[in-house]
Amino acid sequence: MSTPKKARQRSLLQFLALLVAVVVIILAAVLAQNWWNNRLGPAPQDITVTARVGDTSIEVSPYLVCEPGLECPEGEVPNLPVDPDDTLLLEIPEAIHDHDWQLLMIYDDPAANDQQLHGPYDTEQVEIPGSVDPLTEGDPRPRLMVVEISSAQIGLDADGEETPYATVWSLSTMAD
């Protein structure tokens, strides 16, 4: 049978071991949360938007990616035809919709052009009609020609430092 002194000593050791275990768990949780919050997302040039019309879909890569104030080389603009009665569905990835972004819709009648500003987590997808009602009755319905999404992204510069990038995804919707 153990003495009361040995029993107290064993209880104290168990308490200290439990205290150390709790401190280690809390420290690991704080470090994991800090890593999660500070991890770098995908490179701006690797972020794609999915565009869909009916059963046809394409991945749209950025048309422009550059640091603000620098000359920006233009990329290719993919084409996904959208008929006047069709609806274009854009699926916006979290790397874009987790902060402010904007959508520009350009029609064959400049008076019908439209711009939408979106805040963080406003929407993950956008439906855009292939044509809109004319501003003047009797005029033809303006047809969608180009859609652009603009967003500031964080990427790495040539020195490996985090830097902002102006990023634009562009999609032509006219038939070839």
For 114-151, the pLDDT digits (tens) are 999 999 999 999 999 999 988 788 889 999 999 999 99
> Which amino acid makes up residue 73?
P
Closest to 84 in 3D by CA, of 104, 103, 107: 107
For 129, residues 6+ apart whose C-beta sits below 8 A from its C-beta are 87, 88, 144
Note whether 49 and 60 are within 8 A (CB): yes
- The pTM assigned to this predicted structure is 0.77
The beta-strand segments (E) located in 15-135 are: 49-53, 56-60, 64-66, 87-91, 101-107, 114-118, 125-129
Q: What is the pLDDT of residues 57-103, one digit of tens each?
A: 999 999 999 998 888 888 899 999 999 999 999 999 999 999 999 99
